[in-house]
Structure 1
Amino acid sequence: MADMDLQSKLPAFRGALHDKRTATVLGRWLGIAVLVCFATGVLSHYVQNPSGWLVDVLPSRPSWGYRLTQGLHIASGIAAVPLLLAKLWTVYPRLFVRPAVRNVRHGLERLSVAVLVAAGVFQLFTGLLNTVQWYPWPFSFVPVHFAVAWLFVGALFVHVAVKSPEIRAHWRRRSEATLRLGDEGDRRSFLFGVTAAVAAVTLTTVGQSLTPLKGLNLFAPRHPGYGPQGLPVNKTAAAAGTDQVDVAAWRLAVVGPRPFTLTLDELRALPQYEAELPIACVEGWSKSAKWRGVRVRDLLERAGAPASSRVRVTSSQSGGAYRVMEMGRGYTEDPLTLLALELNGEPLSPDHGFPARIIAPNRPGVWQTKWVAKVEAL
């Protein structure tokens, strides 16, 4: 009697689109977005945090590689937001099915769904806030986001394995024998609306990295054309404590078998090279620019170190997680890797790293070290 009273109080969902066929179609799209986001995110994580042996394995070409993969990471994550909401709207009536757990398989399915939904909402929510560099939580974003990504994908594979019979049964368009008149049209309209929402959020944000679409960049936190010298910045010289540089006293230390120091005038007197390379940041924005400066491998050779040396670069900023960085031989040997002194034909502005900064191909913006004080051959 109590069970009957409980069932009578539960909401009833009679909408034609809370069905397995619609859920399967949305699941395909969402799965593609999640897997692209996961693969590019794992790649980005190891490029940003390479282990000891990986430092010398990471390639410097193609020069636009990180720009592409990180742009895909952010774009697929943003596209997944309306897809996840639509998917949850389609399947949420099943949360009220009684009994809650019918057998072991059903219990495993419910558990995988709970983990999947919680991890998915967490990843998309924290990822979106990371694009605007807002961290209203007590934990470190990068390691937690990376760990939960594996949890999310693991739960996804468990869920797909458990639901595989239903997915196969409802994969084709005419899979439902009991389809009521008009339901297919309603489904098409709903899926068209979801597609339009995905297209809208993607087109109005992807211009931060896909510059041909920058005119549509309405809602992304960065515009590729706005900032000092036509290039955005994440960390200003004032925030880094490097806005007041005494040029007469500034020296670049180059450490190797034959260490030496250079004044800014001496550095400018060395052979200068130009390269057109993008700044590609983990938040998803990127922009190509013209850089001019001294090749890092030339500095190493003058210090008596081989061009294939691993390099440690130290910034003069007062602190921060990226004050000291290392580059492997793939970057130091590349002639496009510069200690840049100019940006777009002008001396670097303080916000872009004056007096000197690193610019290297296929590398995250956080490792394009600004306000360089020391280059050390390892």
Structure 2
Amino acid sequence: MPLTFPPRFRGRSHDPRTATVVGRLLGPAILVCFLTGVFSHYLQEPPLWLAGHLPTRPISGYRVTQGLHVISGIAAIPLLLVKLWTVYPRLFVRPPIRSVLHALERASIAILVAATLLEVFMGLLNTVQWYPWPFSFRQVHWSLAWVVIGSLLLHLAVKAPVIAAHWRRRAAADPEAAADPGADGAELAVDRTDRRSLLFGLAASVGAVTLVSAGQSVTPLKDLALLAPRDPDTGPQGLPVNRTFAAAGITRDDLRSWRLRVDGPKPYELTLAELRAMRQHRVELPIACVEGWSKSAHWEGVRIKDLLARAGLPEGAPLRIVSLQRQGGYGVTEMDRAYTRDGLTLLALRLNGAVLAPDHGYPARIIAPNRPGVLQTKWVTRLEVLA
């Protein structure tokens, strides 16, 4: 058969109806991923208007939202690929540019596709903690999210008439038949069967990647988590470790000479024995990491509010938390007053009934409700009050 250019695409799997159906699934996935990403970002870098008002309840809030963030992002991958496959024949439309407005429309689509592919690709690599680029993942990922959502809204506004015409099956019936006047009923029936097969395969692939990756945050599915980069049950004391004490640049001598310093109107230092002699509290809290894994554990230690009160500080003072670590990010973190006044926020000394393992932050680490895992600082050596 002789080749023609531009090629002619007759199959209904490339028509506006199919693109609209796939878009109805892809849109919510992107929206969930965006909203949960905004929530995660604001917990890590709260704006001034949120100071003192960060939510500490529900205690598993970050576990749920970050789990949804990673699950929806992974589910978006097959949806995005199929969406691009349904519309790629538009690349062969001639003339490629019909007007200034048409050129702007095509440019906006190019930005949307490029930004979305890069955003999903970077997020996927983040789940395995592989960063082959020289720039900050978090800042670029955050900026790209706004580019994606902005260009998506622009695309939806431009394509609103087409989407409305093909949103419902009945409304799409006439445009579909009119798309190829030469096609008979048998051809249209085959085309609809092809479309159903495509959508069935898409649903199966989305379901499969979700089932084999969601178990790192959804406990009932943990035995199916074949593609999850973390097994929440694997690690010292039954909990995974993202950064070991050796990777953080901490030596055994650092741990042996450890002291806790608390700054305030009445600054003081404590040895580990003195810290253990204080009233201990037990809590069950999850630890949830930005990579998507999470697990609940039993923690025991001294309440942050008690440590502040001993230094002569009012309840709910914002803190800067300093770690012993010399390598890697988050060696110094800040804690909002909403956490410091919460009775569940501990300087933990024990995990699941045993003294903290060095990789889990021995001698002392932070554990707080509804707080990103990267901010649950390990190897804490100093608490400083912020103005």
Report the TM-score, using the length of structure 1 for normalisation.
Answer: 0.95
1:76 and 1:243 map into 2 onto residues whose CA distance is 40
Find 2:149's aligned residue among 146, 153, 171: 153
Q: How many residues align?
A: 372
The answer to whether the aligner puts 1:302 opposite 2:310 as a matched pair is yes
Q: Could you tell me which amino acid in structure 2 is paired with residue 183 of structure 1? A: D
The answer to whether the aligner puts 1:99 opposite 2:95 as a matched pair is yes
- What is the match of residue 332 of structure 2? 324
- What is the match of residue 176 of structure 1? 173
CA deviation after TM superposition for structure 1 residue 113, in Å: 1.2
Find 1:228's aligned residue among 236, 241, 246: 236
2:384 and 2:253 map into 1 onto residues whose CA distance is 22
2:115 and 2:287 map into 1 onto residues whose CA distance is 30
CA deviation after TM superposition for structure 1 residue 102, in Å: 1.6
Compared CA separation, residues 97 and 248, structure 1 to 2 (3 A): closer
Find 1:42's aligned residue among 24, 38, 43: 38
Matches within 5 A, 1:1-378: 8-174=4-170, 175-177=172-174, 178-179=176-177, 180-245=188-253, 249-378=257-386
Q: 1:155-179, CA deviations, whole angstroms, 9 ceiling, x for partnerless residues?
A: 1011110000000000011313244
- What is the match of residue 4 of structure 1? none
2:12–2:18: 8 Å Cα contact kept in structure 1? no
2:12–2:192: 8 Å Cα contact kept in structure 1? no
2:28 and 2:189 map into 1 onto residues whose CA distance is 30
Q: Could you tell me which amino acid in structure 1 is paired with residue 136 of structure 2? A: S
1:105 and 1:286 map into 2 onto residues whose CA distance is 47
CA deviation after TM superposition for structure 1 residue 207, in Å: 0.6
Structure 2 unaligned regions, length at least 5: 178-187
Q: Which deviates more from structure 2 when the two are superposed, residues 305-314 or residues 335-344? A: 305-314
1:115 and 1:248 map into 2 onto residues whose CA distance is 54
1:253–1:375: 8 Å Cα contact kept in structure 2? yes
CA deviation after TM superposition for structure 1 residue 70, in Å: 0.7
Q: Which deviates more from structure 2 when the two are superposed, residues 102-111 or residues 133-142? A: 102-111
2:224 and 2:208 map into 1 onto residues whose CA distance is 10
Structure 1 unaligned regions, length at least 5: 1-6
CA deviation after TM superposition for structure 1 residue 47, in Å: 1.1
Please list every run of at least 4 consecutive aligned residues from structure 1 whose deviation after the TM superposition is greater than 6 angstroms. none
- What is the match of residue 3 of structure 1? none
2:96 and 2:372 map into 1 onto residues whose CA distance is 47
Compared CA separation, residues 314 and 246, structure 1 to 2 (3 A): closer
1:21–1:176: 8 Å Cα contact kept in structure 2? no
CA deviation after TM superposition for structure 1 residue 278, in Å: 0.7
CA RMSD of aligned residues (A): 1.4
Q: Secondary structure at the match of 1:143?
A: helix
1:89 and 1:150 map into 2 onto residues whose CA distance is 24
Q: Which deviates more from structure 2 when the two are superposed, residues 45-54 or residues 205-214? A: 45-54
Q: 1:19-51, CA deviations, whole angstroms, 9 ceiling, x for partnerless residues?
A: 000000001110000011011111111111223
- What is the match of residue 185 of structure 2? none
1:97 and 1:246 map into 2 onto residues whose CA distance is 66
Give me the identity figure in percent. Answer: 63
2:11–2:191: 8 Å Cα contact kept in structure 1? no
1:161 and 1:304 map into 2 onto residues whose CA distance is 57
1:243–1:350: 8 Å Cα contact kept in structure 2? no
Q: Could you tell me which amino acid in structure 1 is paired with residue 121 of structure 2? A: F
CA deviation after TM superposition for structure 1 residue 248, in Å: 5.2
Q: Secondary structure at the match of 1:11?
A: coil
Q: Secondary structure at the match of 1:354?
A: coil
2:298–2:352: 8 Å Cα contact kept in structure 1? yes
CA deviation after TM superposition for structure 1 residue 53, in Å: 4.6
Q: Secondary structure at the match of 2:252?
A: coil
Q: Secondary structure at the match of 1:322?
A: coil
Q: 1:57-98, CA deviations, whole angstroms, 9 ceiling, x for partnerless residues?
A: 212111101111111111100000000000011000111100
Q: Could you tell me which amino acid in structure 2 is paired with residue 173 of structure 1? A: R
1:357 and 1:279 map into 2 onto residues whose CA distance is 12
CA deviation after TM superposition for structure 1 residue 245, in Å: 4.3
Q: Which deviates more from structure 2 when the two are superposed, residues 56-65 or residues 333-342? A: 56-65
Compared CA separation, residues 245 and 65, structure 1 to 2 (3 A): farther
